[in-house]
Amino acid sequence: MKKYIYIWLAAASLMMGTTACSDFLEEDNKTGQTADLTYNTKTGIEGLVDACYSFSRGWWGKEAGLGLAEMGSDLFYYGYDNKQKTLNSYNLTSASLDGNASDNACLDHYWELFYCAIDVCNNALNWIPQCTAISDADREKYLGEVYFLRALYNLQMVSMWGPIPYNETAFVSTKTTATRMPEEQVYSNILADIDIAMQHLKAGGLNKKSDGDSGQANYYAAAALKARTLLYAASWLGAQSISSNPDYAGKNLYQLAQTAAEEVITGSGASFYDNYEDTWSMNNEDINVNKEAIWGVYYDSDLKTPVNCLPKRFKTNASGSQLDYVNIITRTGYSRGGSAMLLMFVSMWNNGCTDIGNNKNDQKSVFIRSTSESTSYLKSKSTGKDIYVADHYSPYGRGFTRYLPSMYLWNLLEAGRETDQRTEATLLSAYTIASPDLAANVAGKYPLMKDTAIYYSPLDGDSPEGKAMQEWAKDRYRIQFMSGGDIPVYTSNNAATAVPTEAPVATSSVYGDKRYDTYKVAGWCSFPGIKKFLDNVYDSNFPTHDISYRDHIVFRLAEMYLIKAEAQLGQNNASGALTTINELRAKRAIAGKDNKISGTVDINTILDERAIELCGEQQRWFDLKRTHTLIDRVKKYNAQASGNIKEMHYYRPIPEAQILSVTNFSGEQPSASNGVINYTTELETFWQNPGY
């Protein structure tokens, strides 16, 4: 939403006992108004509804949320200084790490954040019907938005932790006991909320995204959430797993998921760009502008606006002050906010080292570090010209490395290079200099350099083709191979055992010098990146690009095709699934190329297509978990994670802070099979997930 008014007087408290705080923002009640007076005004209700949206900015587009959604899967390895390595090594514990920013899964933060979000939603659902100062249409609209958000937050919770306490009324005092609701019942409640949301959104006139502000929920956003929820429930619990909700009891959830996805495809007004790259262009970053986007999290272009920033935690320190969320969630603290996605999938900007400039001025011609107009020009050593480089500011390099693609993902994308637009639009295979006029500035080791500084080849550098390519490149640019050669990205060419190289590279067999003798050119620092989240349009108002105002797309049209295909497969209609996949692939085809696949579709076909289309979009861990393929695919494709992963890891551990805050905790645990916890009724005691 474009307009946010922060008047939050909800007595929103966690079910986390002693960590609860009754006030959300103390400064809100400047005039001493009580909640019933404030929430009987339109401004008060608007502020309360806007508060419900604010928590979405703690997960979507944030580093820690990305880690929990993508790490420990088959798509990404951790880089040199990733801050959540335990998620990939599966050395997870329930410890609440609070402000630890060196290696923090942030489970305690997100348990708190989502329950705070749900409680604020429950307060809104309490006050909106009572407000006499709003029109009936506005009441319908607000109720639809909040039911949508409550369903969304609960889906994130149940997908991570399984059976969870389900709260449908606002807390008015601290609660010290809790019970965990079976997953089937949680899904039933989520679906009920979505159906109610759709009714209210339609009645309030919020049918399509064009009916509201950017980031505002709409009927088809709720339909997309319904399609995803039904697919999650069907694939995780079973095709006819819902019994608590009479609208779904005994029905095939895959069929219902297909119907919901088709409704979005045909009715939402979303469409594909002819050029897939346009989906990710900053020219189209606004959710309401982007043709393919159905709904997402809005970030204002004024990074300092409260719209972009998270509220403080409810948890307090010993003196009673509210704690901050850890900086891998907030990124730039509480004075600025935005999406961190542009920072997460790129190499070190100083990985030029001694071969491509080893000082600030030289590096700027490859990994531009200009921070203002006064440092926006570099003088060419060959021509003497001043070359404007500000618009090349760090287009693909940072001073740290968080995620690099797995060998599986790199190979999967390379397989479509000749026919599929998504390969070139997704995979950053070459780092180029700002201008050919600057080649001489960094060409001491590469006298024939023109524009390419680093190239990442999918070949084995020790193969005849790889050796020939390395020989040709030696005077032109640095070349790094998937495996083998002088500077391999991975330790082997076996996807089951390969990990990013970490050690300094030995003396070059080609060059006879040690220009590569540094960890900065090893695979965990220098690798082909994922570029679809990069800010590709230069804006002089944001010269440092340390965070972005890019809206984060949560639901888009392509996912609906993928949901439809998987739902068809779940109904034993593999041929229909193939047709649907090929419809999507036709939209992603390079002009004049046949991008169809053939053969028998199975779940691995679906997961391959989801990887190509959705990599990095905060869905992969959930996809592997719900399809019961997590352990198998991690062992096949992620050697950083395969050594420790067990069946217990289908669930995240309940944070220690929660366990210590309830008085009815018990060490007694239900059993699990194929990942799913086996029980059908709520237990009177609160328990930790099995294995932790």
How does residue 118 score in pLDDT terms, banded at 50, 70 and 90?
A: very high
**Whether the Cβ atoms of residue 356 and residue 441 lie closer than 8 Å to each other:** no
**Segment 153-174, tens digit of pLDDT:** 999 999 999 999 999 999 988 8
Nearest to 503 by CA among 513, 512, 516: 516
Specify the DSSP class assigned to residue 339.
B
**Whether the Cβ atoms of residue 99 and residue 324 lie closer than 8 Å to each other:** yes
**Segment 387-438, tens digit of pLDDT:** 887 777 666 777 889 999 999 999 999 999 999 999 999 999 998 888 888 8
How does residue 3 score in pLDDT terms, banded at 50, 70 and 90?
A: very low
CA distance 6 to 2: 13
How does residue 358 score in pLDDT terms, banded at 50, 70 and 90?
A: low
pLDDT of residue 538: 74
CA distance 92 to 110: 15
Kindly tell me if the per-residue pLDDT of 149 is higher than 60: yes
DSSP code per residue over 613-658: HHTTSS-HHHHHHHTT-HHHHHHHH-HHHHTT--GGGGSPPPPHHH
pLDDT of residue 543: 58
pLDDT of residue 364: 57
Distance of CA 75 to the CA centre of its chain: 13
Distance of CA 149 to the CA centre of its chain: 17
> Residue 522, CB half-sphere, CA atoms under 13 Å: how many?
17
Read off the pTM: 0.94
Kindly tell me if the per-residue pLDDT of 472 is higher than 60: yes
- DSSP H stretches of helix in 175-281: 183-203, 219-237, 253-267
Kindly tell me if the per-residue pLDDT of 690 is higher than 80: yes
Least confident of 21-35, 503-517, 557-571: 21-35
Q: Is the dihedral of CA 401, 502, 631, 576 positive or negative?
A: positive
Question: Beta-strand (E) ranges in 58-203?
Answer: 76-78
Kindly tell me if the per-residue pLDDT of 540 is higher than 80: no
pLDDT of residue 25: 29
Nearest to 485 by CA among 514, 513, 456: 456
**Whether the Cβ atoms of residue 383 and residue 468 lie closer than 8 Å to each other:** no
**Whether the Cβ atoms of residue 369 and residue 389 lie closer than 8 Å to each other:** no
For helices 557-570 and 574-587, what crossing angle results, to 10°? 160
pLDDT of residue 250: 94
- Which residues lie closer than 8 Å to 56 by C-beta, 6 or more apart? 117, 149, 152, 297
Considering only residues 412 and 678, tell me which one the structure prediction assigns the higher pLDDT.
412
CA distance 345 to 528: 9
Nearest to 67 by CA among 393, 345, 273, 307: 345
CA distance 526 to 528: 7
Kindly tell me if the per-residue pLDDT of 361 is higher than 90: no
Query: In whole angstroms, how far apart are CA 578 and each of 392, 562, 567?
Result: 41, 10, 12
Distance of CA 197 to the CA centre of its chain: 24
CA distance 631 to 352: 37
pLDDT of residue 468: 97
pLDDT of residue 17: 36
Least confident of 425-429, 505-509, 623-627, 632-636: 505-509
∠ at Cα 31 (28, 32), nearest 5°?
90
Mean pLDDT of 327-349: 92
Mean pLDDT of 498-515: 68
Instruction: Give the pair of three-digit tokens for residue 486.
Output: 């002088």
pLDDT of residue 26: 29
How does residue 303 score in pLDDT terms, banded at 50, 70 and 90?
A: very high
Distance of CA 637 to the CA centre of its chain: 20
Nearest to 521 by CA among 343, 350, 367, 345: 350
Pairing of strands 347-348, 397-398: parallel
pLDDT of residue 224: 98
pLDDT of residue 21: 31
**Segment 239-278, tens digit of pLDDT:** 999 999 999 999 999 999 999 999 999 999 999 999 999 9
**Segment 84-102, tens digit of pLDDT:** 999 999 999 999 988 899 9
CA distance 586 to 596: 7
Query: In whole angstroms, how far apart are CA 556 and each of 302, 445, 450?
Result: 25, 45, 39
pLDDT of residue 32: 42
pLDDT of residue 18: 32
**Segment 189-246, tens digit of pLDDT:** 999 999 999 999 999 999 999 999 999 999 999 999 999 999 999 999 999 999 999 9
CA distance 222 to 218: 6
Least confident of 13-27, 323-337, 549-563, 644-658: 13-27
Instruction: Give the pair of three-digit tokens for residue 525.
Output: 């620092």
DSSP code per residue over 5-64: ----------SSGGG--S-S-GGGGTT---HHHHTTSHHHHHHHHHHHHHGGGGTTT-HH
**Segment 485-496, tens digit of pLDDT:** 989 999 999 999
